[in-house]
Amino acid sequence: MNINSNDRRNFILGSTLALAATPLVHAKAATTNDVVTTVPDGINPVGVRTAGVRMIPVVGGKYKVWTKRVGSGTTKILLLHGGPAFSHEYLEAMASFLPPAGYEIYFYDQLGVNNSDQPDDPSLWTLARYLEEVEEVRKGLGLQNFVLYGHSWGGMLAIEYALKYQVNLKGLVISNMAASIQAYLTRVASIKAKLPGPQLQKLNELESSKDYDNPEYERIMMEFMYPQMICRLTPWPEAVVRTFKHVNKSIYALMQGPSELEVLGNLRGWDRWDQLRNIKTRTLVMGAHYDEMDPADIRRMAELMPNAKAVICPHGSHLAMWDDQAIYFRHLLDFLSRLAPAKQASVASLTPGCQPDPISQCCDHVPRICS
């Protein structure tokens, strides 16, 4: 192909003008959906678009944690992942449902986990310290009158936050977490008792000898326990697998213990049943039929809270946002829409296979228990 000198000059000139104009178009489109640091803070680059990622100082500025904003809306939701010491990654399903409905969500890796700083300081790994971290993150992100969502350990953290800082909350979601460690242990013991005889006997032997690092212990958990109570999909979603790869085992062991079946760490004895009545924030308590949290405990929590309702996903387990996805997000979106009746997309249009029915109408009215 032959191009004469005039054509070449015209081509170069046209390309240069097009390239010069392109950033202006992209900048205009990105201004409402990205995070740009305008004042030097020593942590985030100034004037650079970061796809919603922002590092927030915690522990009085000594460390920093990773956050990522997705979507844009008047209702802002901070997501607390489980563990302790798992990552935000298994919550990535939220991005498929909440931002398209007009909600602004914030993923967040807690200190010690994944994208956040991972200091080697055991004194940091306490519930009280993590509670104050959530408040530091809220302030760092500038969130006021926001929705706090907590799953599993994150639900425990959300309860603690609501008891101390509920003046900041527009709404609260406690997902797949009972109000005490003992309630949780009672439930997992009942699930464990249903294991096939040989696996149950072996598991008991390994626990008696505290041989938790034995490959056979992990095999029984991964092949028999977790597929029943953690995630019932086969195969597991990639985001869930990624989360398990990134767990900080030292923090998990210090706070939880050596296993999902025993709590020997510093969370042992946690109990907030008597304080639930003090949470006045509008609250959704979510559970699932096959979860490691007893659905009866989820219902009891909602009954004890003055402005709460419970939802039980009939086909789901601990990760019901994956293995009972349509029902899980139907109820979550319905609850959020009632907190801020704005121009939101319909629930049915955002949950695959979902058809409107009377169940999705129950929120903070007379029907308090849904499934």
Beta bridge partners of 55: 66
In a domain, residue 24? The reply is no
In a domain, 325, yes or no: yes
Tell me if residue 259 is catalytic.
Answer: no
* 192, part of any domain: no
How do residues 131-187 score in pLDDT, each as one tens digit? 999 999 999 999 999 999 999 999 999 999 999 999 999 999 999 999 999 999 999
Burial annotation 267-281 (CB, 10 A radius, 16+ → b, else e): beebebeeebeebeb
Q: Is cis: bond before 84, omega within 30 of 0? A: yes
Query: Can 323 be counted among the known catalytic residues?
Result: no
CATH number of the domain bearing residue 363: 3.40.50.1820
Locate the DSSP E strands across the chain. Answer: 53-58, 63-70, 76-80, 104-109, 146-151, 169-175, 283-288, 308-313, 369-370
Q: Which domain holds residue 107?
A: 53-184+267-370
Give the tens place of pLDDT for each residue, 172-184: 999 999 999 999 9
Q: Above pLDDT 90, what percent of the chain?
A: 77
Return the higher-pLDDT residue of 298 and 37: 298
At 104 the three-state DSSP class reads: strand
Determine the residue type at 198: P
pLDDT level of residue 358 (50, 70, 90 thresholds): very low
The label of the residue with tokens 């993150």 reads 137
User: Which pTM was predicted?
Assistant: 0.84
Tell me the C-alpha distance between 53 and 70, whole Å. Answer: 9
Our answer to whether residue 7 is catalytic in this structure is no
> Which residue is catalytic, options 317, 318, 337, 360?
318
DSSP summary character for residue 353: T
Among 11-20, 228-237, 292-301, the least confident range: 11-20
In a domain, 218, yes or no: no
- Look at the chain and report how many structural domains it folds into: 1
Q: Which of 81, 175, 291, 337 is catalytic?
A: 291
Does some domain include residue 70? Answer: yes
- Place 242 in a pLDDT band, splitting at 50, 70 and 90: very high
Q: Phi then psi for 327, rounded to 5 degrees?
A: -70, -40
| Options 152, 259, 317, 360, the catalytic residue | 152
Whole-number pLDDT of residue 341: 53
